[in-house]
Amino acid sequence: MARPHAAAIVEDAWHRRVDSVLRSRGWQTRIVAHTGYGSEEFARVLGRVLLTRRPEPGERADAGASTAELRSAEDERRGWRAFLTAPTMNVPVTITVGDKTVHTRTDRSGYIDTKVKGHKLGPGWHEARITSVDSEDVVAAVMMVGADQTFGLISDIDDTVISTSLPRPMIAAWNTFVKSENARHVVPGMATMYRELLEQHPNAPMVYVSTGAWNTAPTLTRFLRRHGYPPGPLLLTDWGPTNTGWFRSGQEHKQACLHRLANEFPNIRWVLVGDDGQHDPKIYGDFSQQRPDTVAAIAIRELTPSEQVLSHGIPVSLEEFAPARGRHEKDVPICRAGDGYGLVRLLRVALGEEQPAS
């Protein structure tokens, strides 16, 4: 096995030192559950185990609130605090889904990403129970997809469903330091588009794929729920160093997610939704060329010239400078519009659900 990158070695040493100091001060572990997905054959359970300070006696003013309510209120206040986390490495974790219980351990950043087979659960929303040493049990929602399902939606987040109106390099700082997610704006019509498409395909999966950090998952989940977006798992990233370098590639993360979902659900043809502010057109276009039978359509939300400037410094899409792509008979339809209202009309035609206007 190749030697880990120096970045990973340094980060691991730091995590071990922080873990030792905080535990000596009485800190205890806490499990953060994320929405997972699966089929009748498997369930992918996602979460993270962190260290949290043990409250002093009498510290909680609202003694009548439940643990879940207190944690929800804490998450609402966090902002930049969400990134000041203390992950627990290599901690034993037990996961129960339906009739199946498995034992695993957290990875080097405290994450849980485990596939559970043989759960014997049918399609629909179910729960996975996650337990760990010195932690309260938590329940993670898991979306099970039926074997007969042939339609699904995969959506980007930043500038596709959420508009930050900030230069791309500042999005990380925005997500980190802004305390209230109310400062972020919804892209018009996108939630309506997703709901209308899913009404035509009951129980179809909705998956959100982004290069954003897992630390922002609670904020993003609340934002999506508040603005009427369909529920679904968020597939985010760990912004820390990896075993191969100081930073991980956002493009590679999205590509890996697309291919994994295509392999896990071979009967589904996906509608891929993104924006033209960065690399979504290229990522989706390459994927559709490689696996044309897996993609039903591509929907690209076109940014305004001012949004393009904020995204990458020039008032036109980066596609204008990309080399021309070869076409073949299996090219999938590509729909483009400035918001969800325009995209849904084009998608209905592309998917054969509506006749084109004469």
Alpha carbons 199 and 271: distance in angstroms, whole number? 14
Residue 102 has pLDDT above 90, yes or no: yes
β-partners of residue 28 are 52
The band of 238, judged by pLDDT with boundaries at 50, 70 and 90, is confident
Residue 143 has pLDDT above 70, yes or no: yes
Pairing mode of beta strands 28-39, 100-105: unpaired
Q: How far is CA 63 from the centre of its chain?
A: 33
Strand (E) positions, 53-172?
A: 92-97, 100-105, 111-117, 124-132, 138-145, 151-155, 162-163
Residue 48 has pLDDT above 60, yes or no: yes
The band of 269, judged by pLDDT with boundaries at 50, 70 and 90, is very high
pLDDT digits (tens, 9 = 90+) for 317-340: 666 545 555 444 458 999 999 999
For residue 228, the number of C-alpha atoms closer than 13 Å in the C-beta half-sphere is 12
Where is average pLDDT lowest: 8-22, 111-125, 268-282, 305-319? Answer: 305-319
Residue 53 has pLDDT above 80, yes or no: no
| Helix or strand holding residue 212 (H, E) | strand 206-213
Q: Helices H, strands E: what count in the chain?
A: 9, 15
Task: Show the domains of the chain with their CATH numbers.
Answer: 6-145 (2.60.40.10), 151-350 (3.40.50.1000)
Going by C-beta distance under 8 Å and a sequence separation of 6 or more, which residues neighbour residue 16?
Answer: 89
pLDDT digits (tens, 9 = 90+) for 183-236: 678 899 999 999 999 999 999 999 999 988 888 888 889 889 999 999 999 999
Question: Torsion angle of alpha carbons 209, 116, 89, 84, nearest 10°?
Answer: 30
- The predicted pLDDT at position 16 comes to 74
Angle 350-260-49 from CA coordinates, rounded to 5°? 125
Name the nearest CA neighbour of 252 among 279, 232, 234. Answer: 279
- The predicted pLDDT at position 20 comes to 74
Residue 179 has pLDDT above 60, yes or no: no
Alpha carbons 215 and 141: distance in angstroms, whole number? 18
- The predicted pLDDT at position 122 comes to 96
- The predicted pLDDT at position 84 comes to 55
Where is average pLDDT lowest: 62-71, 236-245, 333-342? Answer: 62-71
Alpha carbons 238 and 157: distance in angstroms, whole number? 16
Q: What pTM does this model have?
A: 0.84
Alpha carbons 128 and 114: distance in angstroms, whole number? 11
Question: Which residue bears the tokens 């469903």?
Answer: 161
- DSSP helix/strand/coil, 230: coil
Residue 117 has pLDDT above 80, yes or no: yes
The band of 22, judged by pLDDT with boundaries at 50, 70 and 90, is confident
| Helix or strand holding residue 341 (H, E) | helix 340-350
The more confident residue out of 72 and 128 is 128
What is the pLDDT averaged over residues 25-52?
92
